[in-house]
Structure 1
């Protein structure tokens, strides 16, 4: 068994996935659109939006889609764990662009480096590194 979370956007899935790819932690490997190849369409406004996407990278797997009834992400976050602090700092800086840092990157009282942000698409991310 493997847990692979799914991110729901109202209509911003495609630009979010492009941003995550630009940040360098993976790429979309499956991209199905509402209305293409006889795919269903819930509403005409959703036609061409992302019905199902799979995003993969080293140690990363999640799914994403556009759903016009999606609610903002609350009560959960996507956690990225690192062994290399420099790599974490670089990705954190790239993903913070256009977003909001909620916990600045610093060594925490429990001993690891940790930070949190809400990206430009409303997704909450946590970064943790036990290495230097």
Structure 2
């Protein structure tokens, strides 16, 4: 069993997909727009514009992130959750952190901590919170 995050971008999913392709090297494994749903399909009540993303699956490194425009009201809210990127090394951590921070907001600058050679927290331009980390080896490991 594993956990996959499902992120609702509330109308900005295409923008998110493009950002994560550019910055994280995301590959789109599946993308279905609302116009692709069969006639009469229940899309949860209100139906967003047909060009909006009903469901997509992004491969980012070894993980998959599912995403959608949801009801496409244009006001995504991401509260109480962060996506964590475990970078291969400090250089990759810096590159990812700086790229995701463009037009976003840094909560904790990327720096060394007692548990990581690199650790930082930010919110990207879409409002998604990210933690970037390069963990130090556990004592005795």
Deviates more, 1:55-64 or 1:103-112: 103-112
Aligned position for 2:77: 72
Aligned position for 1:23: 23
Aligned position for 2:33: 33
Uncovered stretches (5+) of structure 2, i.e. residues with no partner:
137-141
The structure 1 segments of at least 4 consecutive aligned residues displaced by more than 4 Å after TM superposition are: none
Q: Deviations over 1:100-132 (max 9, x none)?
A: 11110011233442001111111000001126x
Q: Which of these two proteins has the greater Rg computed from alpha carbons?
A: 2
Q: Is the 8 A contact 2:33 2:53 kept in 1?
A: yes
Alpha-carbon distance change, 101 to 31 in structure 1, aligned in 2, over 3 angstroms: same
Q: TM-score, normalised by structure 1?
A: 0.88
Q: Is the 8 A contact 1:55 1:62 kept in 2?
A: yes
* Backbone CA RMSD of aligned residues: 2.0
Q: Is the 8 A contact 1:25 1:60 kept in 2?
A: no
Q: Deviations over 1:48-78 (max 9, x none)?
A: 1000000003223110001126751111100
**Alignment counterpart, residue 55 of structure 1, candidates 48, 58, 75:** 58
Q: Is the 8 A contact 2:56 2:67 kept in 1?
A: yes
Once residues 85 and 120 of structure 1 are traced to their aligned partners in structure 2, the CA distance between those partners, rounded to angstroms, is 23
Q: What count of residue pairs does the alignment treat as equivalent?
A: 131
Uncovered stretches (5+) of structure 1, i.e. residues with no partner:
none
Could you tell me how far 1:93 is from its partner in structure 2?
1.1
Alpha-carbon distance change, 26 to 129 in structure 1, aligned in 2, over 3 angstroms: same
State yes or no: 1:94 paired with 2:99: yes
